[in-house]
């Protein structure tokens, strides 16, 4: 299954003009089936939109402002880091805040993962008047819930792939769905070329000229030892060391490139499907890779996980003993570009939120 996922992912991010030169015969043979599936998916999307437009499906509105952080393609767009960025923001410090389908503010130092599905949120919607705001992690496609602020994240390194709908391409909706966005944030802007960023901005301007566009990056902060979140270690801990980067996130290359900037002696990587829940057999696979690295370099390597992966199943990492397991903590930062800064980003969001709060209070 993992192999099939990788094959389909490569098809999705290969331009149509390069298919015959870059794809295998097996991948080319899958394209007709994927194309038919994409057609059915497109038809289902159209019918769903029409049902909402005609009022046959009802959109629910909460009694508090709703901030949606979403994307148009599968994984690796920085949705969860943006949710964390908003949750830690001083503007919301005095508000009782809940983040759904992703994380909630549980401790002063770290955000801990929980999963609250949208039907459950709607079931308890009457209780939400005790909160100041709700943040949806991956909320763009949840048309059943009205949102006051729609933030859409775009991966600056691989934005649209082949521009086809799932499963032939990476798009969860057609590109014109970006017109629903209040703000677009182009993520991994520090890793993307200026040419790519300019092309993304041009595409967005064609769709919606007035759309505010900001840029962001992931900034590594520190490591902590698995099993002991209080033991914070500087980034230089892995300098000139052999490391294995293990992740189950949407865009693993950005994670690995961040580690490479710390200048380890050697950085290997082992990628799993996005949101993969690690099991014992995975620990055995990781152990095999670590032992090979140890034999190759003559020293015990360090295995590094993302914070997001660690929070899913921290206890299972004990099976990697005696190898050291570190967890990388990073934070999203707004990159100053074209006059748009973190301050101007916060000012814009504050203005939108304050106008929505005024509107809700009048109701």
Indicate whether 182 and 256 sit together in one domain: no
Indicate whether 74 and 200 sit together in one domain: yes
Each of the 363 residues of the chain gets a pLDDT tens digit; together they read: 778 888 999 999 999 999 999 999 999 999 999 999 999 999 999 999 999 999 999 998 887 788 899 999 987 899 989 988 988 775 555 554 445 544 333 333 444 444 555 666 666 566 666 666 788 889 899 899 899 999 999 999 999 999 999 999 999 999 999 999 999 999 999 999 999 999 999 999 999 999 999 999 999 999 999 999 999 999 999 999 999 999 999 899 999 999 999 999 999 999 998 889 999 999 999 999 999 999 999 999 999 999 989 988 899 999 999 999 999 999 999 999 988 999 999 999 988 877 766 555 544
Residues across the chain: 363
Indicate whether 318 and 356 sit together in one domain: no
- For position 356, what pLDDT does the model report? 66
- For position 122, what pLDDT does the model report? 65
Range(s) of the domain holding residue 112: 66-212+340-362
Flag whether 58 is in a domain. Answer: no
Flag whether 61 is in a domain. Answer: no
CA 294/CA 317 separation, integer angstroms: 19
Encoding tokens for residue 251?
């865009």
How many domains does the chain fold into? 3
Indicate whether 207 and 236 sit together in one domain: no
Indicate whether 161 and 277 sit together in one domain: no
The pTM score is: 0.89
Indicate whether 347 and 208 sit together in one domain: yes
CATH number reported for the structural domain that contains residue 77 in this entry? 3.40.50.300
Flag whether 167 is in a domain. Answer: yes
Structure letter (DSSP) for residue 71: E
Flag whether 266 is in a domain. Answer: yes
Indicate whether 353 and 298 sit together in one domain: no
* Burial profile 1-38: b = 16 or more Cβ within 10 angstroms, e = fewer: eeeeeeebbebbebeeeeeeeebeeebeebeeebeeeb
Indicate whether 82 and 180 sit together in one domain: yes
- For position 102, what pLDDT does the model report? 44
**2 CB-near residues (< 8 Å, 6+ apart):** 272, 273
Flag whether 82 is in a domain. Answer: yes
Flag whether 30 is in a domain. Answer: yes
Indicate whether 187 and 81 sit together in one domain: yes
| Strand pairing category for 97-100 and 133-137 | parallel
- For position 107, what pLDDT does the model report? 33
Indicate whether 258 and 346 sit together in one domain: no
CATH number reported for the structural domain that contains residue 271 in this entry? 3.40.50
Indicate whether 11 and 82 sit together in one domain: no
Flag whether 300 is in a domain. Answer: yes
Indicate whether 208 and 354 sit together in one domain: yes
Handedness of CA 18, 23, 27, 29 (dihedral sign): positive
Backbone dihedral region of 102: left (phi > 0), alpha (psi from -120 to 50 degrees) or beta?
A: alpha
Flag whether 59 is in a domain. Answer: no
């Amino acid at each position: 299954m993992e192999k099939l996922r990788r094959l389909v992912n490569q098809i999705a991010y290969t331009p149509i003009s390069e298919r015959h030169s870059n794809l295998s015969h097996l991948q080319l043979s899958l394209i007709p089936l994927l194309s038919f599936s994409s057609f059915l998916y497109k038809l289902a999307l159209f019918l769903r939109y029409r049902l909402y437009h005609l009022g046959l499906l009802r959109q629910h509105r909460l009694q508090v402002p709703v901030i949606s952080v979403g994307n148009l393609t599968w994984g690796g767009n920085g949705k969860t880091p943006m949710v964390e960025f908003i949750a830690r923001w001083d503007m919301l410090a005095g508000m009782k805040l809940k983040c759904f389908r992703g994380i909630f503010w549980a401790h002063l130092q770290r955000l801990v993962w929980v999963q609250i599905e949208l039907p459950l949120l709607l079931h308890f919607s009457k209780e939400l008047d005790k909160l100041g705001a709700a943040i949806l992690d991956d909320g763009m496609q949840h048309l059943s819930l009205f949102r006051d602020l729609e933030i859409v994240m775009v991966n600056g390194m691989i934005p649209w792939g082949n521009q086809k709908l799932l499963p032939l391409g990476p798009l969860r909706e057609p590109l014109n769905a970006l017109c629903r966005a209040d703000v677009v944030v182009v993520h991994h802007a520090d890793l993307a070329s200026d040419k790519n960023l300019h092309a993304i901005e041009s595409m967005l301007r064609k769709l919606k000229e007035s759309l505010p566009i900001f840029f962001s990056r992931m900034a590594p902060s520190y490591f902590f030892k698995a099993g002991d979140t209080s033991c914070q270690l500087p980034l230089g801990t892995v300098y000139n060391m052999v490391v294995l980067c293990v992740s189950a996130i949407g865009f693993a290359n950005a994670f690995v490139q961040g580690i490479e900037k710390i200048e380890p002696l050697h950085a290997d990587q082992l990628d799993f499907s996005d949101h993969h829940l690690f099991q014992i057999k995975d620990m055995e696979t990781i152990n095999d890779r670590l032992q090979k690295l140890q034999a190759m370099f003559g020293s015990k390597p360090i295995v590094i996980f993302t914070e997001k992966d660690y929070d899913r199943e921290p206890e299972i990492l004990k099976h990697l003993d005696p190898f050291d397991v570190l967890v990388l903590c990073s934070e999203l930062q707004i990159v100053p570009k074209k006059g748009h800064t973190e301050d101007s980003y916060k000012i814009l969001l504050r203005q939108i939120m304050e106008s929505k709060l005024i509107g809700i209070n009048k109701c």
